[in-house]
Amino acid sequence: MHSISITATDGAGSFAAHVFPPKRQPAGALVVIQEIFGVNDSLRETAAQFAEMGFIAVCPDLFWRIEPGVNLSDKSQAEWDKAFALMNAFDQAKGLADLQATLAAARVLPGCNGRAGTIGYCLGGRLAMMMAEHSDADVNISYYGVGLDGLLADLPRISRPLQLHIADQDAYFPAEGRARVVEAARSHKQVSAFVYPGADHAFARVGGTHWDARSAVIANGRSAEALVAALG
């Protein structure tokens, strides 16, 4: 792993992104989008796994405007409280712009084959869907994104594959909203929505309290197929 610096497009400065290179190159690049816990140990482990799969994994620090280098877990109430405070202070529009800048930087990294996509979890899952609607990413994958029904107005903008992994017991995304997303996905040929019975929010978080091995393995297999098809 090494870090690169990416210049923000609004002139606010620059932010760090951790890069996990694969053994073989050229390879497609994958922007791995953080949860509310920052670019933490769990996310870095996930990114390292994508590198082992043959992708250049890039993890941008999206909380840099608030507090650079956040590394929290889901193991204590104090960390949860801080994570929610960071999420509430986070400007999603600026975060989207930072992701667009990260995607552009990822495409021209040494060893990249020119193709790049995104994959995000929780807050990152919402941002991955926003990237599907507002970027030229070759593929976007969203794990248990929250409030996705509020993004459906821009669904017609999507022209590249978007894969949605939805927990049917997600405590942070009401069933009515999830149902609207699933129904909307049926009418869009580029969008696939998968619902995981009995799974709670963050079912695929490495080392997480809601880890669900069956759901995670099935979802990750679907993601792998989509990434290989789009990124090589």
pLDDT (tens, 9 = 90+) of the chain, 232 residues, equals: 999 999 999 999 999 999 999 999 999 999 999 999 999 999 999 999 999 999 999 999 999 999 999 999 999 999 999 999 999 999 999 999 999 999 999 999 999 999 999 999 999 999 999 999 999 999 999 999 999 999 999 999 999 999 999 999 999 999 999 999 999 999 999 999 999 999 999 999 988 999 999 999 999 999 999 999 999 9
Q: Which residues are 119's β-sheet partners?
A: 32, 141
Tokens 């606010």, residue located: 12
Number of domains in the chain: 1
Contact present, 35 and 126 (Cβ < 8 Å): no
Question: Before 26, cis peptide (omega within 30)?
Answer: yes
Does an H or E element contain 58, and which? strand 56-60
Residues sharing a CB contact under 8 Å with residue 165, sequence separation 6 or more, in sequence order: 125, 141, 142, 143, 144, 194, 196, 204, 219, 222, 223
154: three-class secondary structure by DSSP: helix
Give me 138's structure tokens.
Answer: 């070759």
Give whole-number Cα distances, 21 to 59, 152, 165, in Å: 12, 34, 26
Residues sharing a CB contact under 8 Å with residue 224, sequence separation 6 or more, in sequence order: 53
Residue 135 has a pLDDT of 98
Q: Is 136 a catalytic residue?
A: no
Give the domain extent around 55.
2-231
pTM of the model: 0.98
Please report, as a single letter, which amino acid is at residue 197.
Answer: P
Where residue 131 sits, what CATH number does that domain have? 3.40.50.1820
Cα 5 to Cα 72: distance, rounded to the nearest angstrom: 22
- Smallest CA-to-CA distance from 83 within 99, 66, 102, 95 is with 66
**Strands 112-121 vs 14-20: parallel, antiparallel or unpaired:** unpaired
Q: Which of 170, 200, 210, 212 is catalytic?
A: 170
Q: Is 91 a catalytic residue?
A: no
Residue 206 has a pLDDT of 85
SS3 labels along 178-206: HHHHHHHHHCCCCEEEEEECCCCCCCCCC
Q: Which of 18, 74, 138, 201 is catalytic?
A: 201
